[in-house]
Amino acid sequence: QKEVEQDPGPLSVPEGAIVSLNCTYSNSAFQYFMWYRQYSRKGPELLMYTYSSGNKEDGRFTAQVDKSSKYISLFIRDSQPSDSATYLCAMNEAGGTSYGKLTFGQGTILTVHP
Amino acid sequence: ETGVTQTPRHLVMGMTNKKSLKCEQHLGHNAMYWYKQSAKKPLELMFVYNFKEQTENNSVPSRFSPECPNSSHLFLHLHTLQPEDSALYLCASSQGGGWETQYFGPGTRLLVL
């Protein structure tokens, strides 16, 4: 079983749609949860991060973490063509021997068409 | 130059060649990372350097040899690679070696023939 599972898609939605991206994980020690966005021919850039369970909102983006279900989500409201990219979830334990070691999902390819 | 830069952006090499990838960060960070990104696979952490000391080697074959002369520069020396090593190699940096935000470079697209 992979430590982090992410549906690779591809996901294609019309402009203005609400997009839901999800990851599940198996390591209960993960405490920090991140979403990265990667445009074609670029490196990943951090979009949002959360610590432990709960919600975090930033503009059109909302990140949710449900540690009891080992499930994280990223919601994009009013999606735009400029949101077309690959979205990667990543997570990390707090301290210990995995210091600095992010575990990534496979990435979901999202296309928002006008 | 700002952020994290990587050179070259594209590289084609034969299995007997020796080449090096270069990464430079202009963010004043103390930790640097090498990742491998293959199609349809998650990013794989290869090496971590914290204050120039290697703190992680994720069971990477010896044909990949990292070098970190200072906190701003990171190299990945390549020799006798295999076709399955073809991938996007990403460099990242962070303030420390903990969970802090990692800033990625644009990557080097490597093709091994």
Spatial separation of the C-alpha atoms in residues B99 and B95, rounded to whole Å? 9
3-state secondary structure at position B96: coil
Spatial separation of the C-alpha atoms in residues A91 and A50, rounded to whole Å? 10
What number is the average pLDDT over the span B98-103? 76
CA-based diameter of chain B, in Å?
Answer: 38
Is residue B49 predicted with pLDDT exceeding 60?
yes
Residues of chain B with Cβ-Cβ distance to A103 below 8 Å are: 42
Amino acid B96: pLDDT: 76
Is residue B79 predicted with pLDDT exceeding 60?
yes
Amino acid B98: pLDDT: 66
Task: Read off the pLDDT band of B13 (50, 70, 90).
Answer: very high
Task: Read off the pLDDT band of B56 (50, 70, 90).
Answer: confident
Amino acid B1: pLDDT: 56
A1 contacts: CB under 8 Å, gap ≥ 6: A26
Residue B90, Cβ density class (10 Å: 0-12 exposed, 13-18 middle, ≥19 buried) = buried
A72-81, A104-113, B22-31, B91-100: the lowest-pLDDT one: B91-100
Q: How many distinct helices (H) and strands (E) make up chain A?
A: 0, 11
Task: Read off the pLDDT band of B52 (50, 70, 90).
Answer: confident
Residues of chain B with Cβ-Cβ distance to A101 below 8 Å are: 45, 48, 56
**In chain A, which residues have pLDDT < 50?**
none
Task: Return the residue of A nearest to B47 by Cα.
Answer: A101
Residues of chain A with Cβ-Cβ distance to B33 below 8 Å are: 100
Amino acid A53: pLDDT: 82
Task: Read off the pLDDT band of B65 (50, 70, 90).
Answer: very high
Q: β-pairing, B108-112 with B10-13?
A: parallel
CA-based diameter of chain A, in Å?
Answer: 46
Residues of chain A with Cβ-Cβ distance to B4 below 8 Å are: 43
Is the CB of B59 inside 8 Å of chain A's CB atoms? no
Identify the bridge partners of residue A111 per DSSP, sorted by sequence position.
A12
Q: Which of B43, B96, B107 sits opposite A104 (nearest CB)?
A: B43
B19 within 8 A of B75, measured Cβ to Cβ: no
- Name residue, tokens 């997570």: A91
Nearest CA among A13, A17, A34 for reference residue A77:
A17
Amino acid B64: pLDDT: 96
CA B26 to chain centre: 16
Amino acid A77: pLDDT: 97
Q: Work out the minimum CA distance from A52 to partner chain B, whole angstroms.
A: 13
Spatial separation of the C-alpha atoms in residues B92 and B97, rounded to whole Å? 11
